[in-house]
Structure 1
Amino acid sequence: MASHPLITHVTVLNTLDPDTPLLDDLEPVRAVTEGARVVALGEGAHFVHEFTLARARLPRHRAAWTGPSPTPGSTMRSP
């Protein structure tokens, strides 16, 4: 039986807990989003609790390696 063609793009998360201090399981996301100014997060189905938990970890992971994003409504200024 042949493996699924997307299997090389699958990442198993260590936890869905959005408060966990460890974010290294999200490191594969970095390769896909590095250099992007905007990252949009969609969802495969509405009201799937596990997806909501996993998605809550992504902004923390991105901020850990890029620095925090400006808060909504704030004005970004050049140095």
Structure 2
Amino acid sequence: MLRWLIALLFLANLLALVAVRGLLGPTPAAGGRDPYRVSREIHPDWLKVRAVTAADANDQAVVGAPAPLAPIEASALQ
């Protein structure tokens, strides 16, 4: 009984080795296997890249800076 278990584990390890080495084909995480992506793009020439102006930059959060203080007024409780 133990011999069959060891043989089964050995075969499972061989199958895992073959899969990791890529002998069964590329893994799904390999990426770069979508050759039709460029042909499926709709109007890629319409995309325009422009620099961010100072007015647009005011809306953007500054990463790493402290959060701005909210304009809240407080009064003493009575």
Q: Same fold (TM over 0.5)?
A: no
Larger helix fraction of residues? 2
* More RCO (CA 8 Å, sep 6+): 1
Q: TM-score, normalised by structure 2?
A: 0.23
Computing the radius of gyration from Cα coordinates, the structure with the larger value is 2
Q: TM-score, normalised by structure 1?
A: 0.23
